[in-house]
Amino acid sequence: MSKRVRGRQELVAKEFEGVDLGDPRRSRRAKAVAERLAESPDASLPVAMVDRAMLEGLYRHLSNAEVSFEALIEPHVRKCVGRVAEASTVYAIHDTTECTFGGASRREGLGPLNTKNQGFLAHVTLAVSADGSRMPLGLLGVERLVRKELKHSSQKSDRELLSDLNRESLRWLRGVAAAEDKVRSPRRLIHVADREGDMYGLLAQLVGASQRFIIRSAQPRTVLQEPKSARSLHDVLRETPTSFTVEAQLSPRHHRGPPSRHPAREGRTATLSFAATTVRLRRPKVHGPGLPPELTINAVHVFELSPPAGQPPVEWILLTSEPIASRAEIEQTVDGYRTRWTIEEYFKAVKTGCAYESRQLESFGALENLLAYTLVVAYALLVMRALSRTEQRWPAETVLTDTEIAVLQRLDKPKLPPGASLREALLAIAALGGHLKNNGDPGWQVLSRGWQRLRDYEAGFKLAKALADL
């Protein structure tokens, strides 16, 4: 935080500085819309826009053919690239989320996501600081994809699907290439992806370009061994000597997604073993000779020893370019993958914190333009959460206005002491949103509620001061 940013609204407004929509009036409206949406992220559009005139202006703005997603998001991406340039190493986290819109009527330009809902995919590359703070730095790319048919309706074989130059999975390769092209600093980015990113083609692209990565393995890969033998990656790693073990607290998890991938579990203390080795992955038979016949990659295996009866063990296989010679290096790789959870929180901020999927716009074009605003507001929510967890003792004035600080200092509970740090101030705001100290660090949702209550108190504070001055 090298520059002073006063609250969520100003942070969002700064991300839209330099937006160019081809007309000064459209560009000014873009900044005004961004500030209004940042004021009340989860409010309905009529409530967020305050009055009918501004609401009608928003609808015209979002549906204007001269307004595009690329133009709206470009200033933020440019600023993100600048923040990446100031860091020595950055995680580029890649993931896809479905933007789902219900309703009986079809919306222009949307495609099927399942048998009931329509929408589109957003493939996002989120830059996150690799210095341990997990500070979000912004977006390096967003690709939107609209399906013409349901994903599993094709009758093509695996080999035919892989030869399709328009297949959805290529978004992962494009996302990596686009991020590297924007940053233009070799080996500054460490690309991080969950199991969906475990594709031989993507691994070949990363290894061939000497790019850095941490990808969780999902495919039944084959490891080449001497003399001319081959074994499964899973078996090789399970027989690799343990480097060290740690006790870790596992949080409870409700069932989500396919049971085999995300089984429900109770919270528990687990003993995790860590092992690492270098392997030669054989090219899967389904791929043609266009890809290298083998790839040399480091692999890290995390495995739970003696899980409770009836509970599957925690197990991660991470494929990586990062060194694995020491305990510290292995722990760094695992922590790098754990940083991937930041993008899950980001998607929650988009869908819940900003209520994006509840928007009643009737066309893909309007929804796409609104997404550009929503993504930046969600970034601001995530930044505020990260700042509330920082150990650096920045002054509260780094983010809060003088009036906001004055209001917090006059409240009975929580009461902000003079000279409070930024973390103390943001924890006080979280308390306004219902956060309890015993619950650990606050999330972005409780912070968002706290900001809204602070805004209400601030309005009353200003009104009382104005009346006193009469």
Tens digit of pLDDT for each residue in 230-245?
999 999 999 999 999 9
* CB distance 139 to 374 below 8 Å: no
Lowest-confidence pick of 18-27, 175-184, 208-217, 389-398? 389-398
Cβ count within 10 A of residue 170: 15
The whole-model pTM stands at 0.89
Question: What topology does CATH give the domain 389-468?
Answer: Transferase Inhibitor Protein From Tn5; Chain A, domain2 (1.10.740)
371: CB partners within 8 A, 6+ apart = 69, 99, 122, 142, 144, 356
Judged against a pLDDT cut of 70, whether residue 7 lies above it is answered with no
Measured CA to CA, the distance from residue 145 to residue 371 in angstroms comes to 13
Give the pLDDT confidence of 53-108 residue by residue, as tens digits: 999 999 999 999 999 999 999 999 999 999 999 999 999 999 999 999 987 788 99
Q: What is the pLDDT of residues 254-277, one digit of tens each?
A: 655 555 556 677 778 889 999 999
Find all residues with CB under 8 Å of 444, minimum gap 6, and list them.
Answer: 345, 348, 349, 353, 381, 382, 384, 385
Tokens 């899980």 locate to: 307
The stretch 48-55 carries a mean pLDDT of 90
pLDDT value, residue 1: 45
CATH number, domain 70-153+165-250+268-353, options 3.60.150.10, 3.40.50.10860, 3.90.350.10, 3.10.20.740: 3.90.350.10
The pLDDT value given to residue 2: 44
Virtual CA dihedral for 411, 413, 414, 416, nearest 10 degrees?
40
Report, as an integer, the average pLDDT of 304-318.
90
Q: What's the CA gap between 114 and 219, in Å, rounded? A: 24
Domain boundaries, the chain: 70-153+165-250+268-353, 389-468
Measuring CA to CA, which residue among 32, 43, 35 is closest to residue 10?
Answer: 35
Q: What is the pLDDT of residues 422-447, one digit of tens each?
A: 888 888 988 998 988 777 788 777 87
What share of the chain has pLDDT > 70, as a percent? 93
Distances (CA, A) of 386 to 119, 200, 407, 422: 30, 34, 23, 11
Distances (CA, A) of 172 to 122, 197, 265, 433: 12, 7, 30, 37
